[in-house]
Amino acid sequence: MKQIADWALATAAARRARYCDVRVVDDRQRALATKNGVVGHAADSESLGVGIRVIAEGAWGFASTDNLSRSAVEAAAARAVEIARASSRVKQRELALTPEKAVKADWRGPCEIDPFTTSIEQNLALLQRVNDELQSVKGVTLAETNLNFRRYEQWFWSSDGAEIHQSKTTTGAGFAAYAFQGNELSKRSYPNSFGGQYQNRGYELIADLKLVENARRIGEEAVALHSAPQCPELTGTVVLDSSQLGLQIHESVGHPIELDRVLGMEANFAGTSFLTLDKLRTLRYGSEIVNVVADATEQHGPGLGTFAYDDEGVPAQCTPIITNGLFTGYLSSRETAAEVGESRSSGTMRAEGWNRIPLIRMTNISILPGERPLSFADLIASTDDGIYMQTNRSWSIDDKRYNFQFGCEIGWEIKNGKIGRMVKNPSYSGITTEFWNSMDAICSRDEWTLWGTPNCGKGQPQQVMGTGHGAAPARFRNVKIGTAYQKGGA
């Protein structure tokens, strides 16, 4: 691998590139899915290639290849320099990078059981057991299951002298039960919607998820939703489960703090941002108990945004984003940090694979749990009336990340401090800063979960990246409830 990097670095230097970095990536993936017990998808793939990024004449150039012969690598490096020179003709500003000490490092993420040592037959047998439990519930008309593994190994070299090897394993699994009645469809997912739960761990995660043990309950809830009343329309109190709060963080905190969006350098898939530079350390983003960090360090947990070094060789960091309600930080790169006068990148540049250029991406954007002991039972007991909402169903947010509307799969009324009847089609809407300022309670560490979002899209061509979001159940006051779906709608 080192020889491949030397070919690219030497070629870039010979063509007078001011900077060059090289990423060789070996990416193996397995994805399995069933529908009503029939295999709907099965793939086992591996990809190996090199991506070369350069600065020449004050602009970026990038090229990649899966041919790792000397001639192909040198041609790709030369092409990256040509692209940079072409880009320099239309550059709007001179490109500068914050300084970063070059390191030599080797890091492996946590993995007790290599998931690729399990057979596809073993994997499908597990999914079949989940499917059988779901379909044993009368009224469940469609059962879907999925299981996903990934091993991502990367070697990074730069003309500054960095040499970094990293390897991480990702495991994810989940299932969903659908129930059709008349013209209505209800759905329940576990452990989360849109694929379930994902973490940078090995196959040991699967046992922790207790998929088979929860399947029957989830199927029964999907069927029961048809008999549940419509969520009422009112302005009142909302309690969100940790997975829904994680998505709320993703959409109304994670995307708007990406500094390339703020600077107008990126707008694909999520628009720009209302968090203009004048709001840093001045905007009251949330109430005093809202504390959000962007934490890529191992200490935060095995999130999909955990690593040792980003794709510019910058060490993983914990950046305070919201501190006691005050907006305090962005996600940045070496280029954008220099653009706004910061001394260092926050270390958030990542690429989907060897054939994509790194972009600013969310790491683990997490809300910290409450400091005082507060269980979920205590949270409900201290809530006179409201709606408890669980598991995301839909979301919509404007291209500045300011006005939003979220729907959940299931809800329950809270009456006199107790969980009451189930309600269907629960939803809520609001304005980002007003919503976060309405938060008046959050559960403590025992209720906190680090959720994985494996499918965050950004860039053109699109890059799909995994992010993490730690959250505990929390309460919000004076929220607009129940307006996303028409009464009686699916």
Last residue of a domain, one of 192, 227, 262: 227
486 falls within a domain = no
Total domains in the chain come to 2
With cut-offs at 50, 70 and 90, classify the pLDDT of residue 16: very high
Full-model pTM: 0.95
Q: Are 370 and 444 in contact (CB under 8 A)?
A: yes
* Confidence class for position 490, pLDDT limits 50, 70, 90: very low
**Are 100 and 73 contacting, i.e. CB atoms less than 8 angstroms apart?**
no
Q: Which tokens belong to 130? A: 């989940």
Residue 454 has a CB neighbour count (10 Å cut-off) of 18
pLDDT score recorded for residue 7: 97
Domain-embedded: residue 490: no
Domain boundary residue, one of 227, 253, 270: 227
Distance between CA 442 and CA 404 in Å, rounded?
A: 21
How, if at all, do strands 163-181 and 104-108 pair?
A: parallel
Contact 208, 191 (CB under 8 A): no
Distance (Å, rounded) from C-alpha 407 to C-alpha 394? 5
Do 67 and 179 reside in the same domain of the chain? yes
Looking at the fold, whether 174 and 257 belong to one and the same domain comes out as no
Confirm if 143 and 37 have CB atoms less than 8 A apart: yes
Whether residues 319 and 241 share a domain: the answer is yes
Q: Is 472 helix (H, G, I), strand (E, B) or coil?
A: coil
220 and 269: one domain? Answer: no
Residues spanned by the domain of 210: 2-227
Same domain, 220 and 272: no
311 and 23 Cβ atoms separated by less than 8 Å:
yes
Mean pLDDT of the region 262-290 = 94
pLDDT score for 269: 80
C-alpha distances in Å from residue 93, one per residue of 18, 89, 123: 16, 11, 52
- Residues contacting 116, CB < 8 A, separation 6+: 28, 30, 149, 151
> Is residue 483 very low, low, confident or very high in pLDDT (cuts 50, 70, 90)?
low
Say if 489 falls within a structural domain.
no
Same domain? For 39 and 182 the reply is yes
pLDDT at residue number 95: 92
- The last residue of a domain, from among 206, 227, 248: 227
**CATH number for position 11:** 3.30.2290.10
Q: Is 292 helix (H, G, I), strand (E, B) or coil?
A: strand
Distances (CA, A) of 30 to 117, 119, 123: 12, 11, 10
- Whether residue 276 lies inside any domain: the answer is yes
Q: Evaluate if residue 49 carries a pLDDT over 60.
A: yes
Please answer whether residues 24 and 64 qualify as being in contact, where contact means their C-beta atoms are separated by less than 8 angstroms.
Answer: no
Mark out the alpha helices in 49-188 (DSSP H runs). 70-88, 120-135
Q: pLDDT tier at 489 (50, 70, 90 boundaries)?
A: very low
Residue entry with tokens 């009336």: 385
Residue 276's nearest CA partner among 265, 294, 290, 263 is 263
User: Which residues, listed in sequence order, are joined to residue 133 by a DSSP beta bridge?
Assistant: none
For residue range 177-226, list pLDDT tens digits in order.
999 998 899 999 999 999 999 999 999 999 999 999 999 999 999 999 99
Residue 262 tokens, joined: 């703020």
Q: Please indicate, yes or no, if residue 371 is contained in any of the structural domains.
A: yes
pLDDT band per the 50, 70, 90 thresholds, residue 486: low
Are 398 and 431 contained in the same domain? yes
- Please indicate, yes or no, if residue 488 is contained in any of the structural domains: no
* CA dist., res. 332 & res. 53, Å (int): 18
What single-letter DSSP state applies at residue 207? Answer: H
Greater confidence, 268 or 325?
325
Residues 127, 246 share a domain: no
Question: Do residue 424 and residue 445 come from a single domain?
Answer: yes
Tell whether 284 and 402 lie within a shared domain.
yes
CB 155 within 8 A of CB 24: yes
Query: Residue 218: which H helix or E strand, with range?
Result: helix 211-224
Q: Do 255 and 238 share a structural domain?
A: yes
Contacts of residues 260-263 at CB distance under 8 Å and 24 or more positions apart, as own/partner, are 260/333, 260/336, 260/359, 260/360, 262/330, 263/336, 263/339, 263/340
The answer on 286 and 220 residing in a single domain is no
DSSP state of 371: S
- Measured over the CA atoms of residue 464, residue 197, residue 143 and residue 130, the dihedral's sign is positive
Whether the Cβ atoms of residue 186 and residue 423 lie closer than 8 Å to each other: no
Structure tokens at 95: 């490109």
Residue type, 255: H
On whether residue 9 sits in a domain, the answer given is: yes
User: Quick check: is 355 in a domain?
Assistant: yes
* Residue 447 pLDDT greater than 80, yes or no: yes
